[in-house]
Structures are given as C-alpha cells and as structure tokens.
Structure 1
Amino acid sequence: MTDDARPVPRPEYPRPQFRRERWLNLNGEWGFEIDRGDSGLERGLLQRPLSGRIVVPFAPESELSGVHDIDFMTAVWYRRTVTLPSDWTGNRFLLHFGAVDHDTTVWVDGNEVGRHRGGFSSFTFDISSHITAGRPAEIVVRARDPRSGPQARGKQSTVYSNQVTEYTRTTGIWQTVWIEPVPPVAMRRPRITPNVAASSFLFDVPLTANTPGSRVRVVVSDAEGEVARGDVRADLDLAPTLQVTLPRDRVRLWSIDDPHLYDVEFTLEDADGRVLDLVTSYAGLRSVSIDGRGFLINGERVFQRLVLDQGMYPDGILTAPDDESLVRDIRLSQAAGFNGARLHQKVFEERFLYHADRLGYIVWGEFADWGCRIPGAPEDWQQPTSSYITQWLEVLERDYSHPSIVGWCPLNETYQFIDDRISVLDDVTRAMFLATKGVDRSRPALDASGYSHRVVETEIWDSHSYEQDPEEFARMMAPIAQGEPYTNREGDREMPPRDTPPWSVPYSGQPYFCSEFGGIWWNASLGHDADEAESWGYGGRPRSVEEFYTRFDGLVSVLIDDPEMFGYCYTQLTDVFQEQNGVYTFDRREKFDMDRIRAAQTRPAAFEDGRARPSLRSTT
C-alpha cells in the first residue's frame, strides 16, 4: 500500500527470473517537481520539499502519473521518505530502478549514491552506507532529459507534438523502483545457458565476494519435484560455473507449442552448510541454430510470424497500466496468428519477458533508436558515442537467460553510404555486434535491422519494405532465390537501382527475413484525405475492409510461400496515437475479424517444409 492507504501501482515482483523473498516496492506517490531550466540543484530542490506529487512508476507525460504534462521537461525531481523494516539489519541494501529517462542522479539523505545514463536499461545503486533499517531516510532522484546531445529516444517526438512515427515523450521514472536487502556476501544475477544437445543447463553464478569453504548449490525442479542438482566450490572464483544434466526421462524442451519452464533454486552456503544467500529462478531448455539459410529452434524449422510491438499505452505511454496488460498484448498477438514479436524501439520491462517465457512467445531483443544518420545531417540526427555500447551491454546482462528471446538486434534503420571512409557508425555498429557475441554466443545477432548492414559477420540479414502492392512486393523479395536479396537503399520504397551507392556490405548467404512490412492504414472513421497528425499508415487506405483483407493476405502470402524466408514481422500489433496501422486499436479493441487475420498467417509456411536452399557460405 502507499502512504495514504491507496493500492500500490504495479505491485508485482519486477524481476521474476532472479527473485529473493524480501523486497520493498517504492511505487506510489512521490513528491515531484518539473525543473524546465535544469537549475534545481542551484535553487535548492535537493534540500526543500517539492511542489507537486506524482504516481510512480508512470512518467509525468502520462495520465496515470497524475501530472499529464506533455511539454518538454529538461529535468524532473522526485522525493520520498522510506523506512526499511527493522529485521533487515545486517544486510546491504540495493536500490533498483527498472528504467529512468534519461540521465539520473540519486541522493539518500543528501548524499549522492550514484549516477546512470540511459533511459531504457535497468540499474542498481548500493545505498547501504547511507540508510539504516528501522530509521526513515529520504531518497531524492533527479532525471535530466535534454533535447540535444546523443540519447536513445526510440519513438519519442523531438518536437512538441506527435508527428508521423514519433509519439508523446517519456521523462523520468517509468518502471518500478524497489529496494531489497542482500547479505554481505551474495550472489549476483546468474547466467543460465541451455544445452539441448547435452540435456543440461550451464549456470554461471557471479558472487560479490568469496568466502573460504563456501559452495553454490543448484536444484532444478518441475511439477513432479526435483529433477537434478549440482554444486561447486565458491571460494576459488568470482563466478563459479557448473553444469547440471537432466535425466533423460525428465527432459522437456521449451517451445512455442509447449513453453515448459523448470524451476531453479540457487543457494550460497558457507563452509558449515549455513545458507548465506538464496534466490529462485526458472529456465527453459531451448536451442537456436543456423543451417544454411535456415533459422532453427530446437533443431526444427519454425516460421517466425512476428509482429512489431512498440509497447505503448494510451494512459501509460511506455509503461503498462498493470501486469495483466502485458499478458493481454501477448494473448492478442497470438489470437491474430502471430507467434512472436520484434520488441520495437524500446527495452521492454522484464515482466513482459517473463510472460513471453511462460506463454511460448518468441521475441527479438532490441534497443531504442538513437537516430543515427548520414554525417553532415542536422544536429539532432545524432552520431554514435560509447554510451551505445554501455547501455546495450546492460540490456544483454539483464535479459540473457530468458528462453523466449531467440535473437538480438542492437540498432534499427541506421544508414550511411559505404565508400572509402570508415565512419564512427561503422566502428560502433561492429563494437555492438562484438559485444553481443562476447556476452552471448548461444543466439544469433543482427547488426542493424533494415537499411545498413555494416558488419560482414552479421549472422542474420533482413530488410524493410512497405510496398503495398502484393505483386510488386513479390518482385522485390524474389531475388533471394538467386542469393541476391532485396536490400534497402536510397529510394527504398522502390526496387533500388543498381547504380545507387550501397548502404550494406555484400550479402553472403545468411538466413533472411523481411523484418518490417505491411503497416496497412485502416481507420474506417476517417477518409483518404485525413491529415497525418490525425491518422496515417503506409500506402493508401483500402477503400473497404474487404480490400484490407485482400491486401493483408496478399502481402503475407508473398513471405509465407517463399521457402527462403525464415519469418517476417508485420507492422504492427496496435495503433499508436496517430499511426493507425495496427491489427488492434490503441486501446486494444479488435479492428478486424481475427479469424480471417489468423487464417491468413497460420497456414503452413514453405520454410517449414524444409525447402530453403543451402547457404552461399563456404562450409570449409
């Protein structure tokens, strides 16, 4: 409950795959003040009460926050008094933020405890030196969100109002804030790697420190009870590693049709067997592999019928109103015939991934757009910085163990011509690809979705096309059969002329999919001459709903009938503000006969028949 006895918003545990029993949810009412000139520190906002109130974890631009101010906010301030339970004495105290946009500084009782840059990645500060269990302490948060400078904004509008594919901004706290007590020597987040071939899991269990004679024990269970266990010395390495093999009769793979999850318990014990730390988790036994141009899950050809999901809500903007809204979006997607999503232009909160894990919903982990464009473009078309890599590594570390994630893509629609100059974008794109593979060798990485593929080793190849004529769309996609797939270039709405400077390195036989297509505009209440500020989609609005069905079926059929395509991603799941090309409305009402939408997508795909041609790559 909040201080005034109202229910705590978003009360559920925010990190289901690394759970301790004790924690304190700090969502609810906080003191709040907008600092449009970013002069609050000089004006004493760190010391004095703030002028307003806000409901965390909802951004001040949202209705659910109680503020609902959509103008630019250079900085915002939060203040709350917290009293930790007295029985937490003897522990360290970790203050967790799901996400804060964009540049965060935190004080406890006037002492600065940490800073973080990045509006989409989670972060934690150890506040043990500045807070005592049983005694009140004051937490102050300042979030700066300037209009200029390198920053991952995703789809946040860079002008006052919404426009085309840019929407209402998010400033400050927009995911759950919470505190947990941890013992002096504790486990950090384990990394769980499934090994289907060996019917086992590899567990990496990093520690805050080592204790002589200590051990890490892991127990894997299912609905019938304990399946397997293992233990390893924890006094020699900061990250003890052990492999736990499952008995043959208890092996059950995680898949779209059977999203089986094993329960996992991690225990850190001292030399005398006393428990120092205990956390619970879960794991899915699932593999991802590449066979020529084939993208396989558990060794099988699974056509990826993905939908573009931007995770936006009318009243919460980037923040789901409640946990059930996350579940509903997955259920709505599945009802329409999709089996997964590109989580687009946003790092989704971890509870979405938890629900995807348990509902058998495959996803691609992505990051919000930075606005990388051609050198010499306007100043707000930013150039890369090291923050790109830093924030992406934070995401990889948090989300590594989720079985629903089948691939990574750190960049979206970056583009520059390839010439004799090596740009900073080339270096950063390659660095992000190498960082991805350094953290995770179990999943494929796509260097950038659509437009520029700058990394020769990129393991997946894709393109974006919003061609609305199915016959022309088929002509664009057809050259993949000859190993010359459609590649975005200047004038990408049409087949690019061969003399256009390339935006990508040459294709070399990777698995290929069209990762953005469709986007058919449909708002039956508005005519063809509707203003873009009011409603828009790709191409002309169909003249009737029957014409919509014909176009949808035609575009989907081009890809589902192509044995070279391992999947597609249709734009998009829901309307988002003025962009009205979803299969559902922004408030999640049906726009179409879902039986017809589902039927168009769920018939057998040519790729699943195993008829995809072999890779162009050498097998030597």
Structure 2
Amino acid sequence: MTVQQIPRAEHPRPQFLRDRWLTLNGVWEFERDPGDSGLERGLLARTLRDEILVPFAPESELSGIGDTDFHEAVWYRRRIAVPEDWPAGDRVLLHCQAIDHDATVWLDGVEVGRHRGGHSSFTLDVTSALDGRREADLVIRARDPRHEVLPRGKQATWFGNTHCNYTRTTGIWQSVWLESVPTSHLVRPRITPDAGRATFDLDAAVAHGRPGQRVRAVLSDGDGEVARDEAVVGMTMVPSLRLVLPQDRRRLWCPEDPHLYDLEFTLLGEDGTVIDSLASYAGLRSVSIDGQRILLNGEPVFQRLVLDQQYWPDGLMTAPSDAALVRDIELGLAAGFNGARLHQKVAEERFLHHCDRLGYLLWGEFADWGASGQGPAGHNQGQTPTFVAQWVEVVERDYSHPSIIGWCPLNETHQYLHDRFTVLDDVTAAMYWATKGMDRTRPVIDASGYSHRVAATDVWDSHDYEQDPVEFGKKMSGLERGEPFANTGENTGSAADGAPTYSLPYAGQPYFCSEYGGVWWVPEAAREGDDNSWGYGQRPATEDEVYARMEGLTRVLDQNPLMFGYCYTQLTDVFQEKNGIYAFDRSEKFDMERVRANFAHPASYESHPAGAE
C-alpha cells in the first residue's frame, strides 16, 4: 500500500506534535473470533484469515469487511518497522486513539498492555518488548461483549438499527501510530487559559525526569515571541509555568475571532541542551457563570448549538477523511449554529483541533448509554468504576482545547421517585465531581435531561420534542418564575412502570433546552422505499410546515432572555432517523438561507446584558 493509499494518514494529535511519528493505518490481517476463544485456538501465533483497512471498524463499508453482526472478539495483526532514523536510545510509544472496547496488545507474542474503553485513547511503551529490534509483529485483540453493560453511546444493543440506535462499532476505529521519544520526555501538557488575567497556566509533566532538567514554554504569534517561562524538573511532581501576555499582544479566542497562539514546550538538560520538544497551540478565553448566565470572555454569548452524532454512511463512527470532519463544522456554521453538542460520542482529537481553529463551541460528552439505549441505571450500576475511569481519561485528553466550553458526562439517566435502586445518585455524583476535580475552568452538567441528581450542578437543562410551538412555549415559560421545565415520566413518556423521573429542585443555575426540534422530514424525491424512517411527532405535510415548526420552536428559546442557549436535534440524518438539517450523505434537505436565518436569529439573551437581573 502506497503512502497515498493510507487512510487517515494525518497526525492524530495536532495539538501536541513531535517530528518523529509513524502512522500504522492501512491494511492489517484480521479475523473474527465469535466465541472469544482465539487465544486458546492460537490466533496470537498464526496468520489471520482476512484483511481489514484500519482505522475503519469491521462493521463499516470502508473497512473492506462490512459485517454488521455482533462481534464478541476480533483480532488484528501487522508487521511494524521502526524507522532507521529514529535514535536507538529513544523510547517507542504505541498510541491507540480508540479501540472498542477491551483491547489487549502483544508485540512478538509478549503482552505489552491492556485497556478498557471504546471512546478513550491510550498509550503503551513498547520499547522493552522490542528489545533493540527494529521490526516486530503487533497483534491486537479487541473484545466487545454483547451482554455486558458498557459505555456504547448510540450503538444498538440488538441486531438491527432502531429509532435512535445505530450500527455497532467493534475494534479499532481511530488511528494507531508510533512515536519516538527520549527516555526523559514531555507528557501531554495541560493548558489553562485565563482571559481575565491574560495568562496561560501550564502543567508540563515529564516522564523519567531528572533533577536539574528544566521545562521551557514559549508563546508566540504572527509578530514573534509573546511570553516565556521556565520551571525546574524535580522541584515538584508536575512543573508549573505561567505565561503572562503583554497588554498589546492580548487577543481573545471567540467564535468571531478564533485566534490561536503558537506554543512550544522544550525539555532542557542541565547544560541547556534540548532533550525533547512539543509543538502546540493555545487559545486565550474564559468561561464563567454569573447567576443564570454563562459568559464567554465575560460576555453573554448565546449558544446556538446543534446535536452532532458524528456518524457517516460508509465509516460509521469514523470519518472517512479529515476533510469530512471539517465539512461537518462548515455545515453547522452554514446552518446558523455557532457550536455543537457532541452527542453520545467522544470526538477524535482532529475534530477538536478543527473546532479550535474555526471557532466552533463544543460541549464534550461521554458515550454513556450502554444498556439497550440507556446508561448506568437500576440493576446495571455495578459498572460505575468503568464509566468513571473512562470518562476521566477523556477529560484529561481533551482538557487543553479552547473550543470545549462545557462537560456533559451523562445523558438522559433515569432516577424514579420512590425507586429502591438509588445507586444512580452515586454514579452521577462520581462522574460530576470527578469532572470538577479535573477541571475547575468549565461548567459541568451532572446529566443532560431527565434526572439532575447533584444539587450543586453548574447547569440545569431539559429535553423536549414537543412539536407545537404554542405548547412548547407554555412548557418553557416557567423559567422566569424559577420553575423551569423538568423532564418527568409524564412529559417524556419514558418512565418505567409509569413512575415519574425525579430531579432535585432547581436552584437558579443557568438553564437551556439542550434537545428540541427533531422535526421528521424526508424530501419528496427521497421518499421511495422510505418506510422505516422516523422523527419526533407527526411528519409535516409540507416543507413550509417544517420551517414553521423550526422557527416557532426556536423563537420560544432564543427570545427568552434567561435562556443562555439551545441545542437543536440534529445536524444530519443518521440511518433511519430522518430529522437532520442535512441528509446522512451531507447533502442539503432544505433552503439553507431560510434555515440559517432561523438559527442565526438575534437572541434576547445577548441584547439583555443584565441577564436575570
């Protein structure tokens, strides 16, 4: 396979770059293991039967397999060759951006590591297993047990796609790559911007550091160096640096001007020699809460968000190309949105990078659904450590991206009034407080929609797919009385045995409707054979009725001066779910000038600087 034929060959982690790296995407040996007996049957030691195109999952067309059945386990094998120009004394790191769900990795038959989590990245140091060799056989087994409660997101837990659950993803579905690092080397730094003080606080961890070494950070823009700082390794567990920007070099990151500074991290020896370096970038912005308002750089920016599932017809959860990632952002902007809620999926780092540079606001979310469409609930809550461990990996990985302005660890969890199973409180509290402990700079919502179980949650929200704008307006009108709409069994139709879903009382937090719309529409030219599609409510009779619903529902939200934003469902159709602004293939379904005029409509929140006062 030539370099031109290697899929997704771009660097998977553009915010932290080294020169010496090698993609392992391309053709791998592959074999299904339906009984998860491959280790006993010797798959570790022999040639596998099929071939697959990594990083596409075997369920996808782009993988060359296209098998959408359940896969208890799958195996991968390929020969790796460490480039001759990589220094012999360096460490070799294997990076796996995402493998669903339980991965075990061997090098020449030696196990080098394991990882659980289909949406979080992991890194293994394979230097010892290489033992000085430049070539080795890399084998990965991925297990995806059908009947175990796992964070799956929108992957169907029954055979076929149904309603808002889609084709599964098993095994490798994001890039795999090698990187060469010195023995003492920089670990992914944390970048914390503070727009009010015009500073960047940097936590620059060093692996195998030695006293006397120093970490240096240099910030620059188009006119050259802006600020620098140094810290001594060994004086603290994680060297901390602060970059203070001069008044005349301060430029805030925002949707209208997503300015990014260049940032270089360097690890220096005692004698000043360069040991390691990372090329990075940073955006100067702050997110804060003022009463019922969420402020960006001290200003009430109305969040016009769209629900983005990030599925593609041929790649499923894997974008067919880097350009496809950019295209989805461009489609959102063209429709009048200024950001997205990444729904039930953890986006790959390249998507976050493009959002950083294009000024697209994001709420980072976890793929917590996993029990026939729901997250950890009732009898299924024994998996709490799994959910928390994987989520904190995600927060740590994505912490430094300026486009992420909030975190959403759980979605539509159900706590029923008088239910004897109350472990959901523990799950929700663990996810919420773990997030707050890792990141004090962004708001966190304990659970989007349905059961708010943390009294101190930064944000309150609701989901409502009422299709009548008048009725929708009545539901949303209680916010001005301090009694905002809350999801219950009676108004969602989703409670078990008729028991109402229960949330703790609203305490004056910023509030928005984080799912609404979902208007079901299939253009007339595409209706032939469309017998199984669905959307919310009755399908409109005409396209004009679609616009009327979109506009009526959206005016309820953007004309409420206490509402800091909304999230419209959804950016694209996904398989049978036909309620997108665009079709599944990203073609236009509507008059986009009219759509953009609706979602870009001026919001009362922005024209009332006093907000709730």
TM-score of the pair, normalised by structure 2: 0.96
| Deviation of 1:480 (Å) | 0.5
Q: Is the partner of 1:87 in helix, strand or coil? A: coil
Q: CA deviation at 1:573?
A: 0.1
1:278 aligns with 2:277: yes
Deviates more, 1:26-35 or 1:85-94: 85-94
Name the structure 2 match of 1:171.
Answer: 170
Query: How many angstroms apart in 2 are the aligned matches of 1:537 and 1:319?
Result: 24
How far off its partner does 1:503 sit? 1.2
For the 8 Å contact 2:62–2:315, the answer to whether it is kept is: yes
Distance in 2 between the 1:375 and 1:159 partners?
A: 18
Q: For 1:426 and 1:495, how far apart are their aligned partners in 2?
A: 19
Cross-structure match for 1:606: 604
Q: For 1:528 and 1:204, how far apart are their aligned partners in 2?
A: 54
Alignment correspondent of 1:214? 213
SS in 2 for 1:194: strand
Deviations 1:471-530 (A, max 9, x none): 00000000011000000000224899xx97451100000000000000000002389998
- 1:603, CA displacement in angstroms? 2.1
Judging changes above 3 Å, is the alpha-carbon distance between structure 1 residues 31 and 434 closer, same or farther for their aligned structure 2 residues?
same
Superimposed CA distance per residue, residues 518-570 of structure 1 (whole angstroms, 9 cap, x where no aligned partner): 000000238999877x2111011111111111111001110010111100000
CA 1:288–1:583 in 2, change beyond 3 Å: closer, same or farther? same
Give, in whole Å, the separation in 2 of the partners of 1:82 and 1:323: 24
Question: Contact 1:10 / 1:323 at 8 angstroms: preserved in 2?
Answer: yes
2:502 maps to a residue whose letter is: W
Cα contact 1:77–1:141 (8 A) shared by 2: yes
Q: In the alignment, what sits opposite 2:514?
A: 515
Distance 1:331 1:6, change over 3 A: closer
Gap change, CA 1:341 and 1:436, over 3 Å in 2: same
Show the counterpart of 1:234: 233
* AA of the residue aligned to 2:14: P
CA pair 594-383 structure 1, distance change in 2 beyond 3 A? farther
The Cα of 1:224 is off from its aligned counterpart by: 1.3
Question: Counterpart in 1 of 2:386?
Answer: 387
Give 1:149 deviation, angstroms. Answer: 1.4
2:8 aligns with 10
**Superposition map of 1:194-209 within 5 A:** 194-209=193-208
Distance 2:376 2:155 in 1: 22
Please report how far the alpha carbon of residue 100 of structure 1 lies from its aligned counterpart in structure 2 after TM superposition. 0.3
Residues 87 and 529 of structure 1, relative CA distance in 2, 3 Å threshold: closer
Provide the C-alpha distance between the structure 1 equivalents of 2:190 and 2:263, rounded to a whole number of angstroms: 12
**SS of the residue 2:253 aligns to:** coil
The offset of 1:8, in angstroms, is 1.0
Distance of 1:222 and 1:412 partners within structure 2: 39
CA contact (8 A) 1:476 1:495 kept: no
Q: How does 1:154-165 map to 2 (within 5 A)?
A: 154-165=153-164
Query: Matched residues in 1 for 2:43 and 2:216: separation?
Result: 48
SS of the aligned residue for 2:575 comes to coil
The equivalent position to 1:561 in structure 2, one of 559, 562, 568, is 559
Q: Is the 8 A contact 2:220 2:227 kept in 1?
A: yes
Query: Is the CA contact (8 Å cut-off) linking 1:83 and 1:133 kept in structure 2?
Result: no
Alpha-carbon distance in structure 2 between the residues aligned to 1:477 and 1:444: 22
Between Structure 1 and Structure 2, how many residues are aligned?
608
How far apart in 1 are the matches of 2:141 and 2:527?
A: 45
1:555-594 aligned at under 5 Å gives the runs 555-594=553-592
For residues 321 and 161 of structure 1, the distance between their equivalents in structure 2, rounded to whole angstroms, comes to 23
Distance 1:575-1:495 versus aligned 2 partners, 3 A rule: closer
| Cα distance change, pair 495–602 in 1 and its aligned pair in 2 (3 A) | farther
Q: Classify 1:502/1:101 alpha carbon distance in 2 versus 1 (closer, same or farther; 3 Å).
A: closer
Equivalent residue in structure 1 for 2:41, among 37, 40, 43? 43
Maintained 8 Å contact 1:463/1:516: yes
| Residues in 1 aligned to 2:245 and 2:346: alpha-carbon distance in whole angstroms | 33
CA distance, structure 1, for counterparts of residue 222 and residue 376 of structure 2:
56
Give the secondary-structure state (helix, strand or coil) at the position aligned to 1:63. Answer: coil
What is aligned with 1:427? 426
| Aligned twin of 1:552 | 550
Residue 109 in structure 1 maps to residue 111 in structure 2? no
The alpha-carbon deviation at position 442 of structure 1 amounts to: 0.3
Query: 2:290 matched to which residue of 1?
Result: 291
Kept after mapping to 1: 8 A contact 2:34/2:72: yes
Matches of 2:377 and 2:255, distance apart in 1: 46
Aligned partners of 1:305, 1:235: CA distance in 2, in Å? 46
Task: Give the match for residue 468 of structure 2.
Answer: 469
Aligned-partner residue type, residue 278 of structure 1: S
1:317 corresponds to: 316
Q: Quickly say closer, same or farther: Cα 1:526–1:479, change in 2 above 3 A.
A: farther
Given that residues 528 and 541 in structure 1 are in contact (C-alpha distance below 8 angstroms), is that contact kept between their aligned partners in structure 2? Answer: no
CA-CA distance at 1:418 after TM superposition? 4.0
Q: Which residue of 1 aligns with 2:254?
A: 255
Aligned-partner SS, 1:58: coil
* Secondary structure of the corresponding residue to residue 112 of structure 1: strand
Q: AA paired with 1:232?
A: A
Give the match for residue 407 of structure 1. Answer: 406
* Aligned position for 1:337: 336
Q: Percent identity?
A: 59
Shift of 1:383: 5.1
- Cα deviation, 1:160-216, whole Å, max 9, x if unaligned, reads 111111111000000000010111011111000001111110000011133121111
CA distance change for structure 1 residues 218 and 538 in 2, over 3 Å: closer, same or farther?
same
Q: C-alpha distance in 1, partners of 2:230/2:26?
A: 41
Partner of 1:618: none
- What's the secondary structure of 2:106's corresponding residue? strand
SS at match of 1:14: coil
Tell me if 1:480 matches 2:501: no
RMSD: 2.1
Separation of aligned partners in 2, 1:239 and 1:307: 37
The residue that corresponds to 1:30 in the other structure is 28
* TM superposition shift of 1:382: 6.0
Q: Which moved more, 1:517-526 or 1:546-555?
A: 517-526
Q: In structure 2, what is the Cα distance between the partners aligned to 1:368 and 1:598?
A: 29
Farther-moved stretch of structure 1 (136-145 vs 422-431): 422-431
Q: Partner of 1:41: helix, strand, or coil?
A: helix
8 Å CA contact 2:407, 2:442 repeated in 1: yes
Counterparts in 2 of 1:545 and 1:501: CA distance versus 1, 3 Å: closer
**Contact 1:105 1:114 (8 Å CA) reproduced:** yes
In the TM superposition, 1:484-495 aligns within 5 A as 484-493=483-492
CA distance in 1, matches of 2:261, 2:375: 47
Looking at structure 2, the residues matched to 421 and 493 of structure 1 have their Cα atoms a distance apart, in angstroms, of 21
TM-score, normalisation: structure 1: 0.95
1:238 Cα offset (Å):
2.6
Letter in 2 for 1:561: Q
SS in structure 1 at match of 2:39: coil
Distance 1:529 1:20, change over 3 A: closer
CA–CA distance in structure 2, aligned partners of residues 469 and 383 of structure 1: 40
The residue aligned with 1:59 is 57
**Offset from partner CA, 1:297-331 (integer Å, 9 cap, x none):** 00001100000000000000000000000000000
Distance 1:359 1:374, change over 3 A: closer
- Over residues 594-616 of structure 1, what are the superposed CA-to-partner deviations in whole Å (9 max), with x where a residue is unaligned? 1101111212101112266548x
Counterpart-to-counterpart distance in 1, 2:499 and 2:316: 39
Residues 157-166 or 405-414, more deviating = 157-166
Pairs within 5 Å for 1:88-127: 88=86, 89-127=88-126
| Residue pair 2:376, 2:413 contacting (<8 A) in 1 also | no
Matched residues in 2 for 1:558 and 1:485: separation?
A: 13
Tell me, yes or no, if the aligned pair for 2:211 and 2:232 is still in contact at 8 Å.
no
Deviates further, 441-450 or 153-162: 153-162
Match of 2:78 in 1: 80
**2:381, 2:427 within 8 Å by CA — same for their partners in 1?**
no
Q: Offset at 1:234?
A: 1.4
